Amino acid sequence: MRQVLALAVVAILSWPGALASQSQSPADPQSQSKPPAKPQPQSESDAQSPADPQQQNPPPESPAPQSSDQTPPSVQGKSSPAGQKQQGQQPQQPRRLGTVSELVRVPVTIKNSQGQIIGDLRRDEFRIFEDGREQQLALFSTDPYPLSVVVLIDNSMTTKVRDQVQKSIESIAAGLGPQDEAALMLFDEFPEQVLDFTKNNDMVFTQLKRVRLGEKFPGDFGGPMSAPPGTNNQSQLPQVPTYGVGQEKVVKDLDDAVHAAAEMLHSRVGDRRKMIFLIADGQNSHHNKWTYAQTVRLLLTSDVTVYSITVGSALLKHEPGRMTKYPDDTGGDSFFASKGDRLERLYSATTEEARNQYLLGYVPQNSPSGEYHSIEVRVERPGLNVTARKGYYYAAPRP
């Protein structure tokens, strides 16, 4: 009987179901390690899930990814307080000087006491000041720049002076390079554009050769057909003043002519030097539409430099006035010529001087809009004369 019971116990222990229950018993080491390890990371993941609105902030110990410039946009866009602050910080809008960027560009001409251009100065020999405060140079260049030129010629000079200019006028084209562009304008009471901007030097030469100074052109708002009736050059129309002894007889509007030339140059784009090449006797009426101050403001906000050549006996009798003031205020140069051969030399010398200036640049600090700011350029090397524009008008950026 005992043998039968022993065999029965052995048979029960060897049954497959009993073996299966033994494999799931707590004695199995694998079944003890897996269950507790699996729920623990899952509970940490649930604590950081975006579904929980209180847990969208990144861990406080690792805020660096939100301030990094290389952080992907998906991380920068999270609604954490740090992320919101950085997204709300808009970059400072760049300031504008008229139609140019925040960089104030200042062309500079350096000459010695003999009037010779000095072109070997180094960057560290220059100092530049705005409103008396020294600025840090952000740009320094000695590279020659192509020109955008408006040749502006007085069309109402005395016969002798007119003939001298007429004989030499074609030489203006010789001072222009293949990358320069030029336009031609004449003026007396009204300015008149004769040639629009072109890089074709042959076309400039041809147009200069065709110009007959002292003659009226169709559409120039002048000439005998458009003049009012008069006797002895005195207007007979009502409310038109007559000119007697001691009254002004000059009808040339020099300020209006320079303003018209500046308007032509205002829209010229590209890395070019914009200049007005003014050839006149310096006479100017009191009936200009634009004042000197308004014209200078347009010149400065358009980065236009005026170079002038004064001709005729007027330069010997009195101060040429506008012929030197416009170049002084815009950083150009003024010349005087009483003979035709000197005119030809000055034409090429003027364009070369404009093309080969030093170019300085700085970013002004705390420049309020709409105000004029003075500029002063100094050089450390003694005995040199510095020519640069005297200031600029700051204009706030357009919205």
The pLDDT of residue 87 is: 38
User: How far is Cα 205 from Cα 289, in angstroms, rounded to an integer?
Assistant: 32
Would you call 50 exposed, middle or buried from its count of C-beta atoms within 10 A (0-12, 13-18, 19+)? exposed
- pLDDT tier for residue 221 given thresholds of 50, 70 and 90: very low
User: How far is Cα 99 from Cα 116, in angstroms, rounded to an integer?
Assistant: 33
Mean pLDDT of 241-253: 54
Which tokens belong to 84?
Answer: 């919101």
Contact present, 247 and 127 (Cβ < 8 Å): no
- pLDDT tier for residue 295 given thresholds of 50, 70 and 90: very high
Contacts of 154 (CB under 8 A, 6+ apart): 165, 186, 187, 188, 252, 279, 280, 281, 311
- Bigger pLDDT: 315 or 380? 380
Helix (H), strand (E) at residue 323: helix 322-330
Sign for the CA dihedral angle at 21, 22, 26, 32 comes to: negative
- Bigger pLDDT: 246 or 202? 202
For the segment 98-153, what is each residue's pLDDT rounded down to a tens digit? Answer: 434 588 999 999 999 999 999 999 999 999 999 999 999 999 999 988 999 999 99
The pLDDT of residue 345 is: 87
Tell whether the model's pLDDT for residue 68 goes beyond 50: no
The pLDDT of residue 370 is: 65
The pLDDT of residue 78 is: 35
- pLDDT tier for residue 240 given thresholds of 50, 70 and 90: very low
What does the CA dihedral 265, 266, 267, 273 come to, rounded to 10 degrees?
Answer: 60
Neighbours of 331 (CB within 10 A): 27
The answer to whether the pTM exceeds 0.75 is no
Tell whether the model's pLDDT for residue 13 goes beyond 60: no
The pLDDT of residue 377 is: 97
The pLDDT of residue 91 is: 35
Tell whether the model's pLDDT for residue 398 goes beyond 60: no
**Domain 147-213+250-355 falls under CATH 3.40.50.720:** no
For the segment 36-63, what is each residue's pLDDT rounded down to a tens digit? Answer: 444 444 443 343 444 443 444 444 444 4
For the segment 270-280, what is each residue's pLDDT rounded down to a tens digit? Answer: 789 999 999 99
Tell whether the model's pLDDT for residue 303 goes beyond 50: yes
In a 3-state reduction of DSSP, which class is residue 198?
A: strand
Distances, alpha carbon 83 to alpha carbons 55, 86, 87, in Å: 14, 5, 6
- The region of weakest confidence among 82-91, 123-132, 199-208, 363-372 is 82-91
Mean pLDDT of 358-377: 86
- The region of weakest confidence among 27-36, 154-163, 252-261 is 27-36
- pLDDT tier for residue 396 given thresholds of 50, 70 and 90: low
Residues listed for the chain: 399
- pLDDT tier for residue 300 given thresholds of 50, 70 and 90: very high
